[in-house]
Chains A and B, each alone.
Chain A
Amino acid sequence: MSGDVILEAEGLVKHYPIRAGVLRHTVGHVKAVDGVSFQLFRGETLGIVGESGCGKSTLGRLLMRLEEPTAGTLHFNGVDMYAQQGAAMRRLRRDIQIVFQDPYTSLNPRKTVGDIIGEPFEIHPDAVPKGGRRRRVQELLDLVGLNPEHINRYPHQFSGGQRQRIGIARGVALNPKVLICDEPVSALDVSVQAQVVNLLEKLQDELGLAYVFIAHDLSVVRHISDRVGVMYLGSMVEIGDEEQIYSRPTHPYTQALLSAVPVPDPTLRGTRKQIKLTGDVPSPANPPSGCRFHTRCFKAQEKCTTDIPLLLDRPDGVTAHDSACHFAEPLSVVA
């Protein structure tokens, strides 16, 4: 999966101001994303996992430039995304598209499926000539496994899984290079989830897409990802290829997270190593000093409360991958 970098984020930061009082003074910041760097290679899937509030969705929006960053740079194919304006930015947007989590609210209920999937062509009229658009929309419907004859139906006439397919068709309408999937299957039923995951994999093979796959379901992420990044409180704590993260995680948070995921096999009951985290995720408005995880970490020592551990290549027993822990040590928690 090595090769050319298509998307490169460096030190991405997004702080949201907290305002209070009559004059709306800024009294603090919610540090949603606080210094995230990674590379995405052409045609690969990078999974981003973390608990709610860790900033993974904000990261997705930053990658789309749906949010302006507080700091940091983002390069798409070597072009600085945040420096682009107007027409140049619009052209760039064609190459990075997004699929949202909720198939019920992300489709306009008053528009037909044809209008929804065809809207990208209204914004980018040179993508497909006007006369060919309807046919192209039908091709897209067919591509995502929906009946092309349903082009005039409305979103409410489809089930959740079918709606997510519509969202995906809209996402790939402009032939993007990168598709950001923000929890694309978490709102779907188990038996339908597999269909959509398979569809995403099929599209990747056929269209050569690179995915940033944001999800909280670690099993789905393992299935679909080539590489995985783990986020905690706005920063990336560990990133590596799927094997490294799942078989040889070195960050205590990754280990705890993995050990908490139930495995659908009753014969493993009681045999799996369980790392119990106590308490809840601290507020991102006031993250702990030093290592952000030290308040819940089972390895925390004096040093962790003062020194911020850097995301560095650390040995995992077989190879080495990036981990942000002073006491990084491989520990297999997945049976």
Chain B
Amino acid sequence: MSTPLRTDRLETAAAATRWQAQDGLLLAVEDLQVEFRTREGVAKAINGVSFDLHEGETLAILGESGSGKSVTAQAVMGILDSPPGFITGGEVRYCGENLLTMKDEQRRLVRGPEISMVFQDALSSLNPVFPVGWQIGEMFRKHRGMNRSDAQEQAIRLMERVQIPGARQRVKAYPHQFSGGMRQRIMIAMAIALDPAVLIADEPTTALDVTVQAQIMDLLKELQEERRMGLILITHDLGVVADVADKIAVMYAGRIVEHADVYDLYGRPAHPYSKGLLESIPRLDQKGSQLAAIGGLPPNLMRIPAGCSFNPRCRYAQDVCRVDPPALREVGHHRRSACHFAEDVLAGTARTTRTAVDGELVVDPAASDPAATTAPDGSRTPDARTPEQGGAA
């Protein structure tokens, strides 16, 4: 493709070519810390997250809402709302260079051309008052210095690449004229416009129906293989992860609690939280009896429990877990777990200390109850209560 350059963009283009992955390593995040300073207090959203991403690799970051998975993505992208969000420590190295200490102008040369992102909600991520072709073309106008008609041609080419039917006719249509699946394709077109080396997809299919979800995931996978992109897939859906990921990082309360190859994690989880998650989801191909729910609630990030943050919900928790935060340590080939009893969990010999937890509900002590400041409700177990049917007439 011939890229007409304006003189003031020449430097930009030159800078863009200097990025070179070292031994395939694209992105290295090390001990990342992020906190949100709000009027109510400081929420520690990320507490020391580290991971690597190589060329052509798919890393899934799995977690529930509030686990810090989206904040991690925002910090890597450099789009964290600040204030209230602050990166208080750690490094994000792209091809060896720390993005966090970079000047804004330099960072802009990375954001988009090198690392780009697909957001969950395509409708609110697209600008409703500009045609989609204009929005896709903006990437080429801003970063490549193209004129309008060239940028539009590129936009059409991309829309065709992401399989939007009638791309040439619809290039001037507005976001609301597309269906949810098509809008997500437009988002993907924008994200891959400048041929980035790293693509971060933040819940790309959560708002979509299953049949459309399958189409979008196929498209992402295809594009990744075609361009050898490193893909970070952020999701809470264990099904989607099983289909596409190479490696998985499970996050809980702002930390990675388990990091493993996808087959290992699903086969034999090494952390009680990942184990609990896998056991708690109903499966399409099995008609099970009762679901083994994890009791309690994810913790409030302003009051993360002492010791292991998962201890109030963990069925294997012992005294040491309430005091001593476990480090994420090597527990086997390519796998790490942040649990004092990881080996036992792996071997299936962990001692169950709380049977009440794997029943249905344990209303958690203060730590996990946002309302518990005034009246902590202690630890009520389901067997202590006698469910009554009540005598309404």
Binding site for B on A (CB under 8 A): 51-52, 126-128, 136, 139-140, 142-143, 145-147, 149-150, 153, 157-159, 161-162, 173-175, 189-195, 197-199, 201-202, 206-207, 216, 218-220, 222-224, 242-243, 246, 256-258, 260-269, 274, 276-281, 334-335
Contact = CB atoms under 8 A, between A and B. Distances in A.
Given A51-B209, A161-B297, A223-B291, A280 B262 contact: no
Contact of B239 (A139, A243, A258, A264): A264
Nearest to A223: B282
A191 B390 contact: no
Interface in B269-299: 276-278, 280-285, 287-288, 290-295, 297-298
Interface string B155-184: 000000000010000000000000111100
Given A143-B388, A191-B294, A52 B209 contact: yes
A201 B180 CA distance: 33
Nearest to B288: A223
A139 B237 contact: no
Contact of A257 (B180, B211, B297, B370): B211
Given A193-B280, A194-B293, A277-B211, 19 more contacts: A139-B388, A139-B390, A142-B387, A146-B363, A174-B392, A191-B276, A194-B291, A197-B282, A197-B293, A198-B290, A198-B360, A199-B361, A218-B284, A222-B287, A223-B287, A258-B284, A260-B210, A267-B267, A334-B284
A150 B263 CA distance: 44
A100 to B, nearest CB: 19
Pairs of residues from A and B, 9 with the lowest C-beta to C-beta distance, nearest first = A262-B239, A223-B282, A194-B293, A157-B371, A194-B280, A51-B209, A264-B238, A194-B291, A189-B64
Contacts of B5: none
11 contacts: A157-B370, A189-B236, A192-B297, A198-B360, A219-B284, A223-B291, A262-B237, A264-B278, A267-B266, A274-B214, A278-B215
B375 interface: yes
Given A201-B290, A262-B240, A276-B215, A143 B298 contact: no
Nearest to B215: A276
Given A150-B377, A262-B243, A191 B284 contact: no
Contacts of A262: 213-214, 217, 237, 239-240, 242-243
B281 A264 contact: yes
B218 to A, nearest CB: 8
B263, B282, B371, most chain A CB atoms within 10 A: B282
Contacts of A258: 284
B281 A202 contact: no
A126 B284 CA distance: 44
B298 A189 contact: yes
Contacts of B281: 190, 193-194, 219, 264
Contacts of A174: 392
Given A150-B377, A195-B293, A219 B283 contact: yes
A295 to B, nearest CB: 13
A160 to B, nearest CB: 8
B385 interface: yes
B38 interface: no
A261 B284 contact: yes
Contacts of A216: 209-210
A199 B360 contact: yes
B84 interface: no
Contacts of A280: 179, 181-182, 212
Nearest to A52: B209
A280 B387 CA distance: 46
B10 to A, nearest CB: 43
A161 B369 CA distance: 12
A59 to B, nearest CB: 17
Given A145-B360, A150-B377, A219 B282 contact: yes
B380 interface: yes
B361 A127 contact: no
B382 interface: yes
B262, B267, B281, most chain A CB atoms within 10 A: B281
Contact of B298 (A191, A199, A206, A260): A191
Nearest to A199: B360
A300 to B, nearest CB: 16
Contacts of A153: 371
B349 interface: no
A190 B280 contact: yes
A258 B291 CA distance: 21
Contacts of A127: 392-393
B127 interface: no
B17 interface: no
Nearest to A296: B211
Nearest to A274: B214
A224 B290 CA distance: 9
B211 A190 contact: no
A76 B276 CA distance: 41
B291 A197 contact: yes
A118 to B, nearest CB: 12
A158, A258, A260, most chain B CB atoms within 10 A: A260
A257 B211 CA distance: 6
B210, B263, B288, B375, most chain A CB atoms within 10 A: B210
B389 interface: yes
A96 to B, nearest CB: 15
B180, B240, B284, most chain A CB atoms within 10 A: B284
A313 B211 CA distance: 26
Interface string B358-388: 0011010000001100010100101001011
Given A206-B387, A256-B211, A191 B361 contact: no
A139 B385 CA distance: 11
B388 A142 contact: yes
Contacts of A191: 64, 276-277, 280, 293-294, 298
B263 A266 contact: yes
Contacts of B179: 280
B363 A263 contact: no
Given A159-B297, A191-B294, A265-B266, A173 B392 contact: yes
A202 B287 contact: no
Interface in B207-252: 209-215, 217-218, 236-243, 245
Contacts of B294: 191, 194-195
A194 B238 CA distance: 14
